[in-house]
Each structure stands twice: as structure tokens, then as C-alpha cells.
Amino acid sequence: MNKKVLCGAVCSALLLIGCSSSPKYIDPADSKSYTSMGLDYHDVEKAASDSVQSLLKSAYVKNLSRLSSPKVLMISDVINDTMQTIDTDQLTRKVTRDMRNSGKFVLTLAIGAKTDKSIKKARNTRDDDEFDQHTTIEKGTLKAPELSLSGKIVQKNTKVGSKQRTDYYFLLTLVNLKDGLVVWDDEVNIIKVGSNKSVSW
């Protein structure tokens, strides 16, 4: 076999290997078969969904008057106490989105751990002569929050024989900012078992 033929065969083989290992799309509903010991999309979805269902069934929400205005909610700190890099926004936004969809709550980003910087910037235009002052936002229009949502995600690893057990705790708390009292809290547990060779970070 001459060098040109050999080179062509090698290139073809490398091309086939590259194609066979190319990524592919997975439907979220079918992606559980690719789960790991770490937290994934399904875990966050379950934690958020279970927490909101607990909240909506709570005595606090049931006692809210149908005629009263939706409660103004702010997002406080959600601590990631796991060995993984987790965007806690994914959890809090899913929870607050479902809360808003219930019609009982509205979310403010004017204050809290997740603020929208443009809210303050828009108000700074009041002192800028380059802006038509008739179009700037007047003072006293922001809605103060009545409730604060905070939480914590905890991870605990335990070896059980040849297996590794990883427990995750999703803790969420809703506080009345007027009196500081907890009006609702919930804990969702997710437990995974795998090989000791598996890693959860």
C-alpha cells in the first residue's frame, strides 16, 4: 500500500470516528437514562415543582383572600452548600414563575439577591438633562416586597458497601417581611445511589 492510499485510509477512519462521537439532541422527557450522581435538570424541576405544590396547598395560601391583591415577593439568598457548581437562579425562577402563575404572587426585582440593575438606572435619568423629564419615571412608583423567598441546597455523600449514596436537600423558606415570621417552609429530598467510582461534583 502506497503512502497516498494509507493516508487516505487513516483520514477516512478518523472522519468516521469523529462522526460517530458527534453530539445529538435529547428530549428532556427521555434524558433520565443519562442521569448521573450530580444534580441535573430533572432534579431541579422536581424540587421546584414539589416545593410549589407544597406552598399552594399550605394554610397560608389557602387563607389568602381571593379578592386581595397578589403578594409582592422578592428573592433572597439561596445558598449552594454542595460540591457542585449550581446556578440557583434555575431553581428560584422556576419556583417564583409557578407562584406567579397561581395568581397569588407577583415578583419584584427592584430589591433582593436578584435585582435588575436597569430599574435604578432608569430612575437616574431624572437628573440627566439629555432625557425628556416628562418621560422619566416619577418617584414613589416601586412596590415594596411583602414576602421574601430564601433557601439552601445541601449535599451529603455516604459510602454503603460498594455503592455511593448521595442525598440532596432542597430547603425553601417564605418569610413575612412585616413581622419576620415564617409563613411557609418546605424540604424536598432527592437520593441517588451509584458506584463508588461515580462522582457527584
- What's the pLDDT tens digit per position in 1-30? 555 544 555 455 555 555 556 777 666 666
Q: What is the pLDDT of residue 153?
A: 96
Largest CA distance in the chain: 86
Q: Residues 101, 107, 109, 115: what is their CA dihedral angle, to the nearest 10 degrees? A: -80
Stretch 45-68: mean pLDDT, rounded?
A: 91
**Residue 139 phi, psi dihedral angles, 5° rounding:** -75, 155
Q: Is position 9 within any domain?
A: no
Non-local CB neighbours of 139 within 8 Å, separated by 6+ positions: 126
Q: Is position 125 within any domain?
A: no
Are 44 and 90 within 8 A, CB to CB? yes
What is the overall mean pLDDT for the chain? 86
Q: Is position 22 within any domain?
A: no
Q: What is the pLDDT of residue 5?
A: 47
Report the CATH number at residue 149.
3.40.50
Domain count, the chain: 1
Q: Is position 183 within any domain?
A: yes
Q: Is position 154 within any domain?
A: yes
Q: What is the pLDDT of residue 137?
A: 95
Q: Which of 101, 201, 89, 103 is nearest to 151 (CA)?
A: 89
pLDDT tens digits for range 95-131: 999 999 999 999 999 999 989 999 999 999 998 999 9
Q: What is the pLDDT of residue 1?
A: 52
Residue with cell 497516498: 4
pTM: 0.79
Residue with cell 448521595: 166
% residues pLDDT > 90 (the chain):
62
Which is more confidently placed, 1 or 178?
Answer: 178
Q: Is position 81 within any domain?
A: yes
Q: What is the pLDDT of residue 41?
A: 83
Q: Tell whether the model's pLDDT for residue 82 goes beyond 70.
A: yes
Q: Which domain holds residue 186?
A: 38-108+143-195
* DSSP β-bridge partners for residue 166: 157, 192
How is residue 97 written as a grid cell?
414563575
